[in-house]
Amino acid sequence: MKKKGKTAKAKAGAEEATEYKPIYLTLNGNDWQTNSVYLTVAIHEASEYHVPLYVTSNSGGSTKPPNCPPGFPNC
Give me the sign of the Cα torsion angle 30, 59, 40, 42: positive
d(CA 45, CA 27): 16
Q: What is the pLDDT of residues 27-38, one digit of tens each?
A: 888 788 888 999
**Distance, CA of 69 to CA of 75 (rounded, Å):** 9
Residue 54 covered by a domain: yes
- Is residue 43 domain-resident? yes
The average pLDDT across 65-72 equals: 68
Q: Is the separation of the CB atoms in 45 and 23 below 8 Å?
A: yes
Per the structure, the complete domain to which residue 55 belongs is given by 20-61
**What total of structural domains would you count in the chain?**
1
Confidence of residue 1 (pLDDT cuts 50, 70, 90): very low
In a domain, 50, yes or no: yes
State mean pLDDT over 50-74: 75
Interval 4-49: pLDDT, tens: 555 555 555 555 657 889 999 988 887 888 889 999 999 999 999 9
Say what the pLDDT of residue 28 is. 82
Q: The dihedral of CA 30, 34, 36, 41: what is its sign?
A: negative
Whether 5 maps to a domain, the answer reads no
